[in-house]
A and B are shown apart, each in its own frame.
Chain A
Amino acid sequence: MSTSLPLRAALVSVLILAVFLGLWQIGTMGSGPVADMDPDYAKLMGQTATQGTSAMPGPGAVGAQLWQHLRDPFYDRGPNDKGVGIQLAFSIARVFAGYLLAVLVALPLGFLIGMSPLMNRALDPYIQILKPISPLAWMPLALYTIKDSAISAIFVIFICSVWPMLVNTAFGVASVRREWLNVARTLEIPPLKRAFTVILPAAAPTILTGMRISIGIAWLVIVAAEMLVGGTGIGYFVWNEWNNLSITNVITAILLIGVVGMILDQGLARLARLVSYPE
């Protein structure tokens, strides 16, 4: 029992993966060819019935497909056949665009709400009503008013990532310790400088928590949004491959969506660690 905890945890993780892959393999092996079937009847049946193989790809098939994608992620053979890297890049670009817009709106507005009890109360009902609206519910309205599907997707990302940032910024700014503000006041720090040198660093950890929640939500929503608007993006890719009945590609895409989401989250987590301070 002297081995370290991380090592043992890694061992268990690998074991879980092995069991999962094993069960997957067994589940998709099929039962072998079925003998003596009327050819006319066989035509009506799927491959599971006729050849005994599973329609669900096994881990080997998915792995091979994943390798194919990773070997050439950026090929472009027309609108319906682009490399998965290009699709992911489209999605990430949309997420960043919408997210950046949300940052530009949420941080100043959050500061205002956090610093002014009046604005806090005045805007609270709107935030409470707008916050729980599913971002996809805005899609028709966005398509109708903006008349551009690509920008509509960006708008949807904006609208879904703005709330956690706004609420957290306002909360972080409002709960800056009174004595820190008093220090700034006795040092006659002008308001704008006070906002940047005292309130911002004090509220930064809370703001970053909001930004981390937002990027997570934005990545969740982009897949659904792209299934609706189509054209490009990993969400469109998933839906397109479903229409192609290529389950292998769908599973591959699901895996990649998870990996990219994790990278985005970890990036923000690292940023959060940079601005956090122990008291």
Chain B
Amino acid sequence: MTAHLISIEGISRRYGGPAIFEDLWLGIDRGEFVCVIGHSGCGKTTVLNILAGLDKPSDGVVVVDGKAIEGPSLDRAVIFQGHALFPWLTVMGNVSYAVAARHPDWNKSKVRAHAQEFINVVGLTGSEGKRPSELSGGMKQRVGIARALSLSPKMLLMDEPFSALDALTRGTLQDEVRRLCHGTGQTVFMITHDVDEAIYLADRIVLMTNGPGALIAETVVNPLPRDRDRNNVHRHPDYYALRNHLIDFLVERSRSFKDEIAGRAWDRRHPPVIRPTATPFVVPKEKLG
């Protein structure tokens, strides 16, 4: 088995009744941007919480850098769906709170300087003294991004970070995240239900079927060049093949997937890898990790 940065190994989660998802296997490599799409209730957020260490799997383990996850860690920063800023602290206060947690030995001015750097990175220079209540939704989420990036985490976990924002702000923030994460080789695990967001940002898109008993149906390799432009991405010859594949999955196959594989031997450890192109083909199994 190749050494992934993160390796999800056979995790399930049950709250009393039937499992929300069962026997999930997924490896994520260093520097990869992975998006998970699936309908509400398929357990995406639970998977993310398990990766963050905020929840525990009922079965299975998640291995990060050779070590099983025991609990939350500064190495895995989370950008929450609702920005989750502390309203009693300023922008600077929120970011430097995280920096001080990461570097307890740093003095105050070093912490502030480091926080300032990341406030500048997300374009909030000049708003350091503002409270979250004085910021727009997009600005709040920028603070959340600055807070997470200031930790220099091994992995960034994002739970539908832009779903509460208007389309224009969402687009700008997607550009920012793309710029920041691809520029620094940041490993990202992001949950979304926005197909276009996944196409624009992800290297790999994980498709989850509906719960309960959700499973990974496929992982889709993004055929678009890594260096993509929001305004031209739809002109790429493979764009519609990819988009249609994702939409078809969300509309129809996520629901009926269990019938689709009924009677077939299904290898949960190695769900098919698809690379939708104008002329689709399946990556041969021996090339898989």
Contacts and interface: CB of A to CB of B under 8 A. Distances in A.
B80 A182 contact: yes
Contacts of B86: 180, 183, 198, 201-202
Contacts of B87: 277-279
Contact of B133 (A189, A198, A201, A277): A277
Nearest to A201: B88
Contact of B84 (A180, A189, A197, A275): A180
A189 B98 CA distance: 9
Nearest to A187: B101
B250 interface: no
B271 to A, nearest CB: 29
A179 interface: yes
Given A186-B54, A187-B151, A201-B88, 17 more contacts: A177-B84, A179-B80, A179-B84, A180-B86, A182-B84, A183-B84, A185-B54, A185-B71, A185-B72, A186-B73, A187-B97, A187-B101, A187-B102, A189-B101, A275-B88, A277-B87, A279-B132
A188 interface: yes
B101 to A, nearest CB: 4
A279 to B, nearest CB: 5
Name the prevailing secondary structure of the B interface residues. Answer: loop
A186 B88 contact: no
13 contacts: A180-B86, A182-B52, A182-B54, A182-B78, A186-B54, A186-B78, A187-B72, A201-B86, A202-B88, A275-B88, A277-B87, A277-B131, A278-B133
Contacts of A186: 52-54, 72-74, 76-78
A190 B86 CA distance: 17
Given A182-B84, A187-B97, A187-B101, A278 B54 contact: no
Contacts of B60: none
Contact of B72 (A188, A201, A202, A204): A188
Interface residues of A, number: 19
A278 B82 contact: no
Contacts of B133: 277-279
A96 B71 CA distance: 44
Ranked 7 nearest A-B pairs via Cβ: A179-B84, A187-B101, A278-B133, A277-B88, A185-B72, A277-B87, A186-B72
Contacts of B77: 186
A35 to B, nearest CB: 75
Query: Which among B53, B77, B88 has the greatest number of chain A C-beta atoms within 10 A?
Result: B88
Contacts of B88: 201-202, 204, 275, 277
Contacts of B53: 185-186
Contacts of A182: 52, 54, 72, 78, 80, 84
Contacts of A179: 80, 82, 84
Contacts of B82: 179
A248 to B, nearest CB: 50
Interface string B15-35: 000000000000000000000
A275 B132 CA distance: 15
Contacts of B98: 187
Contacts of B84: 177, 179-180, 182-183
Contacts of A204: 88
A185 B49 CA distance: 12
B78 A278 contact: no
A188 B101 contact: yes
A73 B131 CA distance: 47
Interface in A193-215: 197-198, 201-202, 204
A201 B87 CA distance: 9
Interface string A160-197: 00000000000000000101101101111100000001
A180 B74 CA distance: 15
Nearest to B77: A186
Contacts of B76: 186
Nearest to B98: A187
A189 B72 CA distance: 10
Interface string B56-93: 00000000000000011110111010101011100000
B222 to A, nearest CB: 28
Contact of A278 (B80, B97, B131): B131
Interface string B120-160: 00000000000111000000000000000001000000000
A180 B132 CA distance: 13
Nearest to B78: A186
